[in-house]
């Protein structure tokens, strides 16, 4: 188990119950599962570790939410108000992820270009697209490097001010005289 903030180790602290709703063949069903709570060894704060089929702050499982977002609403037995809430929630998450990626890469692409590229990438993820999007959303900004590889931060304007690597220290940030974060 890893801490979401510092990526350090989590020590198991306790377990707690969590209810999860889903659409079964014979109608709506509720399942109670146990989730682990870990304590960060470095910071000392507690963090809940959710399984892949649970969405943080949502009662329904990820497959029901994904089916609604993919316009397969006949599959889910959630009420219309809940379905509308999921769609609004998804738009907010999508916009936040696109904005964080834009900030992460230094604003070299527009929000629309990032949304198009993200949509194309997530389309290739199959049924795991929503889990991947949520993982990006719930990851701290300074840990986005786990999901993306960028090279533009080491190249200056029009590629004329390339950084020189320093042995054991990393590359100096262009025009700032300090190492990049």
Per the CB < 8 A criterion, the answer to whether 74 and 85 are in contact is: no
- Is residue 162 scored above 60 in pLDDT? no
Would you place residue 61 in the very low, low, confident or very high pLDDT band (cuts 50, 70, 90)?
Answer: confident
Whole-number pLDDT of residue 72: 78
Whole-number pLDDT of residue 26: 76
Lookup: tokens for 78: 């959630």
Q: Which residue has the tokens 């936040």?
A: 96
How far apart CA 111 and CA 97 sit, in angstroms, is 10
How far apart CA 136 and CA 87 sit, in angstroms, is 18
- Is residue 161 scored above 50 in pLDDT? no
Per residue in 81-129, pLDDT (tens digit) is 988 999 999 999 999 999 988 888 888 888 888 899 889 888 888 888 9
Whole-number pLDDT of residue 1: 75
Between 110 and 2, residue with greater pLDDT: 110
How far apart CA 148 and CA 96 sit, in angstroms, is 16
Question: Helix axis angle, 111-123 relative to 80-104, nearest 10°?
Answer: 120
Per residue in 6-50, pLDDT (tens digit) is 778 889 999 999 888 887 777 778 888 898 899 988 888 888 888
State the average pLDDT over residues 49-76: 82
- Is residue 53 scored above 70 in pLDDT? yes
Whole-number pLDDT of residue 75: 65
- Is residue 175 scored above 70 in pLDDT? no
Would you place residue 180 in the very low, low, confident or very high pLDDT band (cuts 50, 70, 90)?
Answer: very low
């Amino acid at each position: 188990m890893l801490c979401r903030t510092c990526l350090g180790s989590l020590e198991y602290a306790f377990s707690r119950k969590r209810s999860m709703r889903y659409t079964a063949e014979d109608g709506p069903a509720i399942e109670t599962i146990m989730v682990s709570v870990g304590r960060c060894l470095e910071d000392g704060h507690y963090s809940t570790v959710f399984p892949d089929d649970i969405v943080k702050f949502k009662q329904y499982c990820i497959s029901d939410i994904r089916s609604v977002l993919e316009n397969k609403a006949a599959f889910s037995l959630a009420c219309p108000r809940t379905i509308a809430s999921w769609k609004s929630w998804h738009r907010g998450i999508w916009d936040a992820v696109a904005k964080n990626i834009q900030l992460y890469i230094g604003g070299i692409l527009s929000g629309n270009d990032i949304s198009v590229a993200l949509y194309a990438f997530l389309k290739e993820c199959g049924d795991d697209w929503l889990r991947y999007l949520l993982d990006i959303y719930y990851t701290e900004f300074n840990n986005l490097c786990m999901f993306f590889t960028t090279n533009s931060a080491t190249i200056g304007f029009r590629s004329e001010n390339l950084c020189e690597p320093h042995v054991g220290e990393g590359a100096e940030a262009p025009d700032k005289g300090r190492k990049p974060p």
